Structure 1
Amino acid sequence: MPEFDPFSTSPVLLGGENRSGTTLLSVVLDSHPDLVVGPEIDFLEPPDLGPHILRSVDMLAARPTAKSGIDSFWFDVDPFWYDGVHFVVQCRRSGLDFDAMRTLVAKVMAELSSDVVSFAERCKLINEIGEFRRACTGARPWGLKLQRKITEVDDYARLWPRAHFVHIVRDGRDLAASHLKTVPDWGYRTVAEAARGWLEVVCRPHRVAPPDRYLEVRYEDLVSSPRSTLTQILDHLGLPWDEAVLRHAEHEHALFERPYGHPAAESAGKPLHPGRLGRYNQDLTRAQIAEFERIAGGELARLGYL
């Protein structure tokens, strides 16, 4: 398979920095009757993705806790299998069962005569998963969170020439406060680290994405003016307005049924509300705010935060 063999499908690919509202946006859009949008699936690791997934499915399916809804049943795996197990858990959060994962992975491996190694092969598997979920639900397009991988939006746009991208951004100072105050050990530990990480995600995509297929929205607008913001997003995706997107917390979502420790599942299940916008004013010191603005002030200004 050529490295950039394009797919004919039309996915909705969401992205953003961690703690920017990507999970909330995915659940809100998943409420639309014409859309099926799942949480993130990390598919760039391990080197031989196909065999890792198949082995991980077998390991998890054999555990007594696999069907009990215990969120932590996958945390004590051998580190060698962690990436494969993580992939399987993320697929479970999207609503796929073990048999479906086995079938889809085996199908892609057979078609490619490969262990699903290259970037394009990995995206081929994601495309198959998305199309399977679309067929199961009767949706028109399927969607998925790219999360921070939105930084490589041009690579995904070449593989999916009919994909549409929605990049949700959040005031980086609030994001820094969220990481420093509420995020476990995987989050940023200093304001400088948060500022540089935030810049990595917000600087590049808008410059390299196909402009007619890329939309940048602010988290603050989503929670403060949901109707107008979601109208803008649905117009971008070519989908009609539906009131269901304003009532996402009232609908069933695979992520709510199978959170498996997802850090944003609980908060994403609440109705849209402004919450603690501008929390950095209380949670960060003046020196920390000044440090963030010194590092990332240009992008804060471009996005309307300064």
Structure 2
Amino acid sequence: MAPEGTAPRAVLACGEVRTCLLPAGQALDSRAAAQLLRLRADERVLVSERPNLYGLSPDTLTGVDCRLPSSNGARVRAVGTVAARAALTEGRVLQTSAYFRVPATGPDHRRPWGQYLVRPGVVEPFGRLPREAVAEGLLDGGRHGELDVGLIADGLQTRLLRHPLLDHRPPLRSRPTRLRWVALPARDGDGPSIERFTLAEDALRTVRLRVPEGVRSADIAGLCDDLALHDWLLTTVVRILDGIRLGPGEPWPRPGPAGDLPVVVGALRPAVDHLLHLWMPRARVSGELAHLWAALEERPGFTRQWLTLVQRVRDQLALHAIPPSYREVEPRP
């Protein structure tokens, strides 16, 4: 993990991503997405339409002066700024993330704020950083009064969800997820790797990475945003399927409006309309980190599970398109 700009050499990076369905009846187009994500008047929102519609806000900075979490109880005070940003995929899935990097050592006294502001996204410790203890403390979430990067991401999400563009009539029910990550330097000669990916309670995921010198913390955050997006998609579709009674046993509706469709069709159709086309791993991950998806495809097998879920959805829709007189036939002896 190399220096970035005028910042000292970073030996630890950390961040947290909040992912949720945008509470709007219709997906936002590119113009509305740019309006939603305009967090600063002096910088424009980046919008791309290939390979899918994606908007990325400029970074905002939050000043912090507090203790860093540590697994061994070490008291490490740190001062600096945490970078935060928001992204919208296909006008439908909103993500807010906050992240920072930490050098191995810092001054023994507090600098003027101006010196921290010229190093955006850097949090400096007082003295030497106990890297491993702080990394594990950050993944565990810390205690009250310690730096909680998730609160910054959550605050940005809350701000965006109050935007007047949103009518708070989402097309389907879903739950937000959180992904917390730390990145430590790779050993000499090693490439980037995912040491641990954990599904924890309360919709929390944790990721511990190793990255070589030269990888920007913004690129690491981009990888984790991509992972969080696809984990949310998997989690949401699994919950949709778990929440309905699959199979052909429900009564066939009488002819009438769309509201008379079978319960299964009514539950699955929003997933088809709004979620199934969003699966696109690595679409915006930097080249030096994109191959890390290969490890996730091997275990736990993200795309393999996704394709299985998509096929289940399509099979159920196809099954319920068949009138009961054809699908409920008694087998002959």
TM-score by length of 1: 0.27
Structure with bigger strand share is 2
Which has the higher relative contact order, 1 or 2, with Cα contacts under 8 A spaced 6 or more apart?
A: 1
Structure with bigger helix share is 1
Q: Which of the two has higher C-alpha Rg? A: 2
